Amino acid sequence: MNRILFIRHGATAGNLQKRYIGRTDEPLCEAGILQVQALRRHGLGADHLFISPMLRTRQTARLLFPNRQPVIIEKLTETDFGIFEGKNAEELCSNPAYRAWVDSGCRAAIPGGESVCGFKTRCCEAFTDAVAQLPERESAAFVIHGGGIMAILEAFACPHRDFYDTHIANGDYIECVYQERVIEIG
């Protein structure tokens, strides 16, 4: 059994503008830094630290765990939003490809981007590879993206949760217990 913290990075300017920010390597904005500083007051700790390679997760991890060396996992990068990257729903509302994607429940492949199934599989494989390295009873923090957290919890949470049922705000966290390929949210 392992204690797991899923921590979503602090906000970026694009997050505040409700833009699709997947592969854009934005830094935390002032509000995001304040979110992470507030989160630090919770005294979160972990034996191991896994992060996405993106700047916003590296900055969040550095603020929360200044003395811990993170393990960067490429497969934990946020989804590739393709032609939607950097835009918000208002800017995309007249785009037929965007409308078709939204009408699919955001489950169809993103034009010029990544398939939802491929994204979820990538994140879940990265997670299971990381936790397989953990000694029994040691804890881990994953400082990653909202989509990755949602994908992992959809696959492993008991009771089952759908992808959109576990949205997590920027600069927030979920504490869980992981045992035998099952996550129990505490």
Does residue 92 lie within any of the structural domains? Answer: no
- Minimal CA–CA distance to 52: which of 145, 154, 130, 120? 145
pLDDT score for 151? 97
Angle at 160 between CA 154 and CA 163, to 5 degrees: 30
Which pLDDT score, from 0 to 100, does residue 176 have? 95
Q: Can you give the pTM of this predicted structure?
A: 0.95
Instruction: Answer whether residue 170 is part of any domain.
Output: yes
179 within domain boundaries = yes
Tell me how many domains the chain contains: 1
**Conformational region of residue 43, where left means phi above 0, alpha means psi within -120 to 50, and beta covers everything else:** left
Name the β-bridge partners of 28. 12
What is residue 68's predicted lDDT score, i.e. its pLDDT? 95
pLDDT of residue 180: 87
Task: Say if 50 falls within a structural domain.
Answer: yes
Position 186 scores a pLDDT of 72
Whichever domain contains 155, its CATH number is: 3.40.50.1240
pLDDT at 164: 86
Other Cβ atoms within 10 Å of 98 Cβ, number: 19
Query: Which domain range does residue 41 map to?
Result: 2-80+116-185
- Return per-residue pLDDT of the chain as tens, 186 residues: 899 999 999 999 999 999 999 999 999 999 999 999 999 999 999 999 999 999 999 999 999 999 999 999 999 999 999 999 999 999 999 999 999 999 999 989 999 999 999 999 999 999 999 999 999 999 999 999 999 999 999 999 999 989 888 889 999 999 999 998 899 987
Structural domain contains residue 88? no
- What confidence score (pLDDT) does residue 64 get? 97
71 within some domain:
yes
Residue 163 lies in a domain: yes
Single-letter residue type at 119: F
pLDDT at 181: 87
